[in-house]
Chains A and B, each alone.
Chain A
Amino acid sequence: MDQQQFQKVVDEKNPKVPYFMNMLKAFIVGGIICTIGQLITFFYMRFFPFTEGTAANPTVATLVFIAMILTGTGLYKKIAQFAGAGSAVPVTGFGNAVISSAIEHKSEGYVLGVGGNMFKLAGSVILFGVLSAFVVALIKTILVNLGVVSW
């Protein structure tokens, strides 16, 4: 059996990835997380002196706190196995990546272990998040200066 035939057998035996169901599950779970986030935003605007713009910060902090509890109790990975991108893309996924790394590396101490490895998975989210924010801001600055749009 040569390489091509072998690859054919492998491809045949590979279980089909249920793309549609995966997307549906991701949409529903991701949607639920975002709805909870929206409710938290309303909560901060109703009971605290936050505006729609400034309520985002405490909302994110609250969601990450909830993700921390769920990660610590082992529930987040169970949700993730069902939801896939639905629980990975929202800010709770970022929180899960940071917190799971922190728990994992506690055995090597707080400085070199937790401190040095906490952002191992989430580091690239920060890097490319900052990079894409810079690129988008640059484009908008150029468009504003050209008079196409206004701030």
Chain B
Amino acid sequence: MVNTFGTLQFTAKTCIANTGIVVGPVEKDSTFADSFDEVLSLETEKNETNEQAHSHLIEKACYWAVKNGHTEIDKIDVLIGGDLINQLSPTNFAARTLAMPFLGVFSACASSMESTILACLLLESGNAKTVLAGASSHHQAVERQFRYPLEYGAQKPKTAQWTVTGAGFALLEKDVKNAPVVTHATIGRVVDSQQKNPLHMGAAMASAARDTIERHLKNTNSKMADYDVIMTGDLGKIGLSILKEMFQDENSGVVLQDAGAQFYGNDTFFNAGASGAGCSAVVFFGQIYNQLKKGVFKRVLLVATGALLSPLTFQQGETIPCIAHAIECRMEKRG
């Protein structure tokens, strides 16, 4: 492994062997619906609380990843995961059921990529053979913690985003045939662009995404055109247009895409699009993973973006610091 100012290079052929994706009922009509393993029929299913439903969502995604990867629960060396709820209780509770060695991570909606990076480091160092890594979010649980009660009548502005109910977990192993390889990763810096509006997080996160993409391209001596797609996690429609504006000189129009902006298509009910830790996890490990596996994409940069605010900090008038972690995946020729 070589480290160039936050960009890690993995030489051990760390692969995404398979993935498991479970989403809630609202996500049934998503643009990415083909790539989901399971769609729940109710937001809380048979659980009494949103938080319990959140935990079960995580468990299910992990079971799917293990099943899809034709392995067994007790063969997983480490589970790495995160969500947005206080003290990571949904992921912690899911880890209680799964009973695997567990590392909980938090970088808000960038948790999916943070856990993947850590998984690759564990594989690279030879300390683990099979790692489950991912992230999740649950609309109702997040809405309650960060915003208002679900049934409260507050008008949402056009910049607001809809937190995805979804969990995406990836099974990572070394030297897997016909699987995308994680070749590089760039660890994000916490960037603060002095934004204060918690209902416009795309603007706050765009700067963090730009910083990480710029550093990644520089450290790997690449250009945007070298990638089939550079996909950010949940900037939303407006956040993505801000990011494109910041890269305007570099012909970024086609390459730069955003999972949150595409997630719900053009339905105006969702305003600027999707968000949440589950958004990047579900799309990166779902659609993008499938496209890599099919060989449609050969080289992609996946940038999960996280807004590191809490209900306390924004009420105290603090700005919203953001972070973006990125991994580069390549699909080599089938053979």
Chain A interface residues toward B at CB < 8 A: 1, 3, 6-7, 9-10, 12-15, 17, 71-72, 74, 76-77, 79-81, 83-84, 87-88, 93, 96-97, 99-101, 103-105, 107, 121
Whether the pair B155, A81 counts as a contact (CB closer than 8 A) is yes
**Inter-chain contacts of B148 with A (CB < 8 A):** 100, 121
Whether the pair A121, B48 counts as a contact (CB closer than 8 A) is no
Whether the pair A99, B153 counts as a contact (CB closer than 8 A) is no
B159: interface (CB < 8 Å): yes
**Inter-chain contacts of B193 with A (CB < 8 A):** 3, 6
Question: Which residues between 234 and 271 of chain B lie within 8 Å of chain A, taking CB atoms?
Answer: 238, 241-242, 245-246
When A13-B242, A15-B159, A104-B144 are in contact, do A6 and B207 touch as well, CB less than 8 Å? yes
Whether the pair B200, A100 counts as a contact (CB closer than 8 A) is no
B185: interface (CB < 8 Å): no
When A13-B238, A14-B238, A101-B149 are in contact, do A81 and B156 touch as well, CB less than 8 Å? yes
B203: interface (CB < 8 Å): yes
Contact of A6 among B154, B158, B238, B246 (CB under 8 A): B246
B157: interface (CB < 8 Å): yes
When A3-B194, A7-B194, A80-B154 are in contact, do A104 and B242 touch as well, CB less than 8 Å? no
Chain A proximity of B245: nearest CB distance (Å): 5
What are 13 A-to-B residue pairs whose CB atoms are below 8 Å? A3-B194, A9-B245, A13-B203, A15-B238, A71-B151, A79-B153, A80-B153, A96-B153, A100-B149, A101-B149, A104-B144, A104-B149, A105-B149
**Inter-chain contacts of B5 with A (CB < 8 A):** none
Whether the pair A97, B152 counts as a contact (CB closer than 8 A) is yes
Whether the pair A13, B149 counts as a contact (CB closer than 8 A) is no
Q: In the complex, A9→B204 CA distance in Å?
A: 12
Q: In the complex, A19→B152 CA distance in Å?
A: 22
Interface size class of B (residues with CB under 8 A): 20 to 34
Q: In the complex, A13→B195 CA distance in Å?
A: 14
Whether the pair B246, A88 counts as a contact (CB closer than 8 A) is no
Whether the pair A100, B159 counts as a contact (CB closer than 8 A) is no
Q: In the complex, A81→B242 CA distance in Å?
A: 26
Whether the pair A76, B153 counts as a contact (CB closer than 8 A) is yes
Find the B residue at minimum CB distance from A77. Answer: B153
Q: In the complex, A77→B144 CA distance in Å?
A: 14
Chain A proximity of B254: nearest CB distance (Å): 19
Find the B residue at minimum CB distance from A17. Answer: B157
**Inter-chain contacts of A81 with B (CB < 8 A):** 153, 155-156
Q: In the complex, A101→B147 CA distance in Å?
A: 12
Chain A proximity of B272: nearest CB distance (Å): 9
Find the B residue at minimum CB distance from A10. Answer: B203
Interface class of chain A by DSSP: helix
Contact of A88 among B49, B144, B153, B159 (CB under 8 A): B153
Contact of B152 among A7, A17, A77, A79 (CB under 8 A): A77
Q: In the complex, A103→B148 CA distance in Å?
A: 12
Chain A proximity of B14: nearest CB distance (Å): 34
5 extra interface residue pairs, beta carbon distance < 8 Å, beyond A13-B203, A88-B154, A103-B151: A7-B194, A9-B246, A76-B151, A93-B153, A100-B149
Contact of A15 among B151, B158, B195 (CB under 8 A): B158
Chain B proximity of A101: nearest CB distance (Å): 5
Q: In the complex, A79→B203 CA distance in Å?
A: 28
Whether the pair B159, A104 counts as a contact (CB closer than 8 A) is no
B296: interface (CB < 8 Å): no
Find the B residue at minimum CB distance from A108. Answer: B49
When A6-B246, A14-B238, A17-B157 are in contact, do A101 and B207 touch as well, CB less than 8 Å? no
When A3-B194, A107-B48 are in contact, do A13 and B151 touch as well, CB less than 8 Å? no
Find the B residue at minimum CB distance from A18. Answer: B158
**Inter-chain contacts of B149 with A (CB < 8 A):** 100-101, 103-105, 121
Find the B residue at minimum CB distance from A107. Answer: B49
When A72-B151, A80-B154 are in contact, do A14 and B159 touch as well, CB less than 8 Å? yes
Chain A proximity of B90: nearest CB distance (Å): 14
Chain B proximity of A113: nearest CB distance (Å): 11
When A10-B195, A15-B238, A80-B155 are in contact, do A104 and B150 touch as well, CB less than 8 Å? yes
**Inter-chain contacts of B150 with A (CB < 8 A):** 77, 100, 103-104
Q: In the complex, A6→B193 CA distance in Å?
A: 8
